[in-house]
């Protein structure tokens, strides 16, 4: 029996990358996992298929984040899926992973791009947590995926990093608020992680990125997923409001 047997989980942005690896890892621990996606239905279906092929249980839920009505759209699909598979709408584990990046120089950040980053990366997680609290029982788990860029400068991602700093604050304050209920809220900060983007197919670029890690390699999504799985388990019951550095030593300098 896995450490999450009988539990349920929602992982936002889990059709690829860290989100997919996290959904797969939680499912291997026994959780019924809701695989959230925005647009790539095929990728989400593949994540579900991979989980089921491994003996797990999962279902896909679609909702575009950062737009009006996003949270209700997400939770309508989530509650229907949970009810169908478990008979209840209880949500034991929430992983806020979905996010978008900026990738432009500070001088090129427009108000529209800034607002979009805030809407998807900070506003949506806040209201997802708020809404999830109607479903999460005492002793539940909330994990926010932050970024090592809240501790290390990359001017092309200044606005993105600001939003990731925001969800670290979400974890800190909600951890205090939800402590009496035994609900833990923590942040996990990945470093450079192979998310399947074309850049990771270029050996020279990967070699350069690998030098930023103390281990001399780029991260694999499973490296981060394993940390999230630990925080989602009862083993992490005494950890809340924490910032976990999962950058592979990138922040050591």
Catalytic residues: 160
| H-helix segments, 38-184 | 41-53, 70-86, 111-118, 124-132, 158-178
Smallest Cα–Cα separation from 17: which of 247, 141, 195? 195
Q: Evaluate whether 126 touches 216 at the Cβ level (below 8 Å).
A: no
* Tokens (6 digits) for 149: 């860029």
**How far apart, in whole angstroms, are the C-alpha atoms of residue 198 and residue 154?**
20
Smallest Cα–Cα separation from 140: which of 180, 167, 172? 180
Residue with tokens 């209840």: 88
Q: Evaluate whether 24 touches 17 at the Cβ level (below 8 Å).
A: no
Provide the β-strand partners of residue 193.
Answer: 219
């Amino acid at each position: 029996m896995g450490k999450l047997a009988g539990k349920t989980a929602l992982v936002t942005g889990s059709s690829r990358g860290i989100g997919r690896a996290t959904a797969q890892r939680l499912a291997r621990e026994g959780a019924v996992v809701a695989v959230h996606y925005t647009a790539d239905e095929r990728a989400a279906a593949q994540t579900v298929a991979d989980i089921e092929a491994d003996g797990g249980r999962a279902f896909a839920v679609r909702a575009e984040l950062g737009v009006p009505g996003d949270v209700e759209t997400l939770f309508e699909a989530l509650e229907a899926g949970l009810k169908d598979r478990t008979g209840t709408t209880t949500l034991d584990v929430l992983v806020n992973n979905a996010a978008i990046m900026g990738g432009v120089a500070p001088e090129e950040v427009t108000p529209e791009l800034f607002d979009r980053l805030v809407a998807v990366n900070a506003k949506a997680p806040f209201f997802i947590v708020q809404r999830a609290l109607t479903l999460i029982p005492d002793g539940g788990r909330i994990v926010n995926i932050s970024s090592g860029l809240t501790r290390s400068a990359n001017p092309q991602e200044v606005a993105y990093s600001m939003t990731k700093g925001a969800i670290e604050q979400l974890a800190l304050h909600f951890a205090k608020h939800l402590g009496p209920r035994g609900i833990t809220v923590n942040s996990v900060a990945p470093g450079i992680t192979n998310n399947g983007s074309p850049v990771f197919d270029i050996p020279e670029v990967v070699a350069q990125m690998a030098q930023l890690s103390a281990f001399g390699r780029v991260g694999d999504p499973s490296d981060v997923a394993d940390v999230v799985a630990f925080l989602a388990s009862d083993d992490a019951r005494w950890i809340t409001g924490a910032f976990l550095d999962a950058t592979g030593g990138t922040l050591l300098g």
